[in-house]
Every structure is written in C-alpha cells, then in structure tokens.
Amino acid sequence: MPIELKKTILVVGGAGYIGSQMVLKLKEQGYQPLVLDNFSTGHRQVLNEVEVIEGELADRPLLDHIFSSRPISAVMHFASCIEVAESVRNPAKYYQNNVANTLCLLRALCQWEIKHFIFSSSAAVYGQPQYTPIDEAHPLAPINPYGRSKWMVEQMLEDFAHAEDLTYVSLRYFNAAGADARGRTGEMHPNETHLIPLILQVASKQRQAVSVYGRDYPTLDGTCIRDYIHVDDLCSAHLLALEALLAGGGSKIYNLGTGSGYSVKEVIEVAQEVTGQYIKIEEAPRRPGDPAILLADPSLARKELGWQPQSSDLAKIIEDAWRFTIYQLGKTRVLPI
Ligand code: UFG
C-alpha cells in the first residue's frame, strides 16, 4: 500500500498563543506543521519535535527559500500584533506588521503557487456593533488601527483570490481564551491586557487586583459582555477550514464565537469558583472603545464547516487557563489530564 505523505502546513506565528495550540492540533491530526516565527512574543519551549524557522515575515528571500524547498499544502497566518491600545499609539507598527508583512507573504505564496491560506481575523473588523449577535453581513467599521489592519488584509485576500489561483478562509475571532487542556501551551503575552489572564494573575498572587472597566454599561450588572471562545475550539475551526480548502472549497469568511456572552463580573465570579481564590477588584472608568456587548452569530461556521465549540463553557475555559497558569509558575509538575 502506498504510504500517504503527511501534508506540510506552514504555521506563521506558530510559537504564539493560538499558533502553538494549532501546531499541537495539526500534529495530532497527522499533518506536518512547519513553524515560521520571529519570537518577538512567541515561546520556543512549546515547540517540541516541530521544525521551526526563526525569521521575519518581511524577509522575502527567506520565504522564497521556504516555499521552494518544501511541499507546502497551505499557510495559516497567526503572526499579528494584537494590542488595540498599542495600535492607537503606534499605528505604523500595525500597518507594517499586520498589513505590509502579510502582503509580502501573499506575494510569495502566489509566486510559489501555494493555493490555500487561512487568516486569523478579528471581531474588531465590525467596530461598534449596530446589532447583536453579529453575523458576517454586519457592516465593517473598525474603530482602531488594529481592527483596520485586519480588515485591510481581508480586502487584500478578496482581491488576491480574484486575481490568483488562491482560496482562503478568514476567521473572525471573538474573545479567544483558555489554554491547552494538558497545559502544554497557553496565553503568555508580555504586556497582558486581556481579562481572563489578568484575573488569573490576581488568583495566583502575581498581581494585587484586577480593574473592572466601567460599571455603567446597559447590561444586567453594568459590566461589558463578551463572547469567550476556547483556543482549542478556534483551532478546530482552523482545521475544518483547512480540510474544506484542501477538498476544493471556495473562499469564505466566518465568525468564531459561541453566541453566548458573560459579563466581566460573571467572569470574575466563575474564576473565584474555579480557582478557590479571592479576586480583588478595583473599579475603573470605561476603557475607550469598549462596546457594551460583543456577541457572535456563529451559525454560518456551524452550517458550512460543521463547527461546534466543545470546550467553550466559561468554567472549562478558566479551568484550562488556570492549570496553565499554575503550571507556568512551576507550582505543580503534574498534568492532570
Ligand atoms: N476588562 C476589564 N479589566 C481588564 C481587562 C479587560 O474590565 O483589566 C474588560 C474589558 O473592558 C472588556 C472585557 O473585559 O469588556 C474583555 O476585555 P479583553 O481586553 O479581554 O478583550 P476585548 O473584548 O477588549 O478584545 C477582544 C480581542 C481583541 C479584539 C476585540 C474586539 O482580544 O483582539 O475583542 O473584537 F480586537
């Protein structure tokens, strides 16, 4: 019987939070991930037994070398800058890294006739919601350079797919959260701004308190509601998108969220239950640009990809993130699963 060669998938940003989880999933599913990462924020220790190339996305000779020397079936792109506030302070960094460097990647991809591309987009492309839950037809009106950079790449993708032999899936993440269920990888951002890791820093005594940005939103308890989606569910969607493209499917855009939301106060309460630790809060003013409610309508991904989140119950998200936090602190060497 002929041995079927494992398909090679280039994972750009494969040392980061979501990219590294994707690398684990690709391996488990019999693909061969090849990582390209500049390690500006990524971590090497999660990438055991995976080929890793350290380098820049803007390094066209390096991209030519990668594409000319290996049989790459598809590219997944996770290598974005992701801090909204930083994007307002330093838009050049976002347009350079998220837009210009992605253009460099797309040009190389087309020259080397790589036919499939999966892009990590964001709910930030919608801006302030005009209705909720948000479906993919919701108007696009990003309110910061981060969101605009994601939208620009989506526009480029549409044009490239018209002009070239390229199909793509753009996945608009809502609030990515959680960690690998076996504690192998998770969220380790140098300047953490996201709610759940900040709460867990308080629970693990690395931080005194977590700020609650605004108590006067038009929600039941006055705090903002978000749609938290487990990183493993995000990766399952990527896998389904990959399989759809490899099977000849066309270019698509999908929301990735659960459709259910939790308020900041509810997240803190569930975190207290899961960790058994008191979480001290500090009241703070609203953070500029935060919509009161952000909820996905994920029905298109369910219908077309057959995607169904399995791990995005809030307690499960926090349990996995907490296990990873504890593991990182070296307080236990035991992986409970
Ligand atoms: N929050 C606090 N205190 C904190 C941090 C956050 O109260 O210390 C609140 C925020 O105000 C917000 C909620 O917790 O209401 C979630 O905030 P995050 O910073 O964790 O996430 P965002 O909803 O701001 O951001 C997410 C993605 C972004 C994306 C954005 C819009 O992480 O990449 O949704 O889609 F741009």
Q: Whose CA is nearest to atom 31 of ligand 1?
A: 124
Residue 214: is its pLDDT beyond 60?
yes
How far is 72 from 59, CA to CA, in rounded Å?
Answer: 18
CATH number of this structure's domain 8-178+228-257: 3.40.50.720
Note the pLDDT tens digit of each residue in 297-321: 999 999 999 999 999 999 999 999 9
Q: Whose CA is nearest to atom 29 of ligand 1?
A: 124
- The domain spans of the chain are 8-178+228-257
212 CB less than 6 Å from ligand 1? yes
Helix, strand, coil percentages in the chain from 3-state DSSP, rounded to 5: 40, 20, 40
User: Tell me, what's the pLDDT at 337?
Assistant: 35
DSSP assigned state of 58: T
Q: What are phi and psi of 173, to 5 degrees?
A: -75, 140
- Average pLDDT on 89-101 reads 98
Alpha helix (H) ranges present in 137-193?
A: 145-163
How far is 337 from 324, CA to CA, in rounded Å?
Answer: 12
- If one compares 132 and 329, the residue with the highest pLDDT of the two is 132
Residue 146 annotated to the active site = yes
Give residue 49's pLDDT band: very low, low, confident or very high (50, 70, 90).
confident
Note the pLDDT tens digit of each residue in 9-23: 999 999 999 999 999
- 95 within 8 A of 58, measured Cβ to Cβ: no
List own/partner pairs for 327-333 with CB under 8 A and 24 or more apart. Answer: 327/183, 328/186, 328/188, 329/204, 329/206
Please give the distance, rounded to the nearest whole angstrom, from the Cα atom of residue 290 to the centre of ligand 1. 7
pTM recorded for the entire structure: 0.96
Return mean pLDDT, the chain.
94
